[in-house]
Structure 1
Amino acid sequence: MSVTPLELAKVAATAANEKKVEDLVLIDVSGSSDICDYFLICTAANNRLADSVIDEIEEKVGINCAEKPISIEGREDKTWILMDYGAVLINVFLPEQRDYYRLDKLWGDAPCVALDLD
């Protein structure tokens, strides 16, 4: 099964949304980054939720896209966890770290992708 980076990002966004994250944003950086095509950024209210979000994303992307993350960084501290799927980087922040790093502002010129999540 082969999925596009956008499809993978949307599956991950849906999984994160099911865990009740806040400020979920998908940014298309394909026109301005050599690192990846999409950044998925969200905020988890606490460490336990951040850990749960990562598990949910890993499970749903594995089931629906047959993909595993290349790496997961920051899982020990659970204040900023980065999941690397190659063309898609998923960032799960706690509120304080999200405010501090402001990745969505850093990539503010890149277009956001509508997610249509309920």
Structure 2
Amino acid sequence: MDNKQIVQLIADACDDKRAEDIIALDMNQVSLVADYFLICHGSTERQVQAIARGIKDKMDEHQIDVRRMEGFEQARWILIDVGDIVCHVFHKDERSYYNLERLWGDAEEVALHIGQEG
């Protein structure tokens, strides 16, 4: 499974937990940190945690290693390291404050197929 397919799996996991404004950025040309960023948000701390847990469960289901998860307890900005993919699961207030989409504005947005399989 390639990274683009994994990004889609992660987006599906986010959608399953009703994450809002799910976007993926191709970071290959703009950062050495990761190949892709996936960014989404939830409305409450509980939903943010459910989204992060959903990502972890989906990765486990496909035997994909989640290297690290940071910020789960506070549930304001959970960072999930899936190797070449970094997921940013925000609480809606933090998402607008940090505005990663603008910060990494040079990155190309990846087309996701939300609400569909595959």
Q: Which residue of 2 aligns with 1:51?
A: 49
Q: Which residue of 2 aligns with 1:80?
A: 77
Identity %: 33
Letter in 1 for 2:69: I
Show structure 1 runs of 4+ deviating over 2 A: none
The equivalent position to 1:108 in structure 2, one of 105, 114, 117, is 105
Structure 2 distance, partners of 1:91, 1:100, is: 13
Structure 2 distance, partners of 1:27, 1:56, is: 20
The answer to whether the 8 Å contact 2:26/2:35 transfers is yes
SS of the residue corresponding to residue 116 of structure 1 reads coil
Q: Which residue of 1 aligns with 2:114?
A: 117
For residues 18-97 of structure 1, the aligned pairs below 5 Å read: 18-64=16-62, 66-97=63-94
Query: Per-residue displacement from partner, 1:71-99 (whole Å, max 9, x unpaired)?
Result: 00001110000000120000000111001
The answer to whether the 8 Å contact 2:8/2:113 transfers is no
1:5: Cα distance to partner?
Answer: 1.5
- RMSD after superposition: 0.9
Letter in 1 for 2:11: A
Structure 1 distance, partners of 2:40, 2:86, is: 12
TM-score between both structures, scaled by the size of structure 2: 0.93
Q: Which residue of 2 aligns with 1:13?
A: 11
Alignment size in residue pairs: 115
Residue ranges of structure 2 left out of the alignment (5+ in a row): none
Structure 1 distance, partners of 2:100, 2:41, is: 12
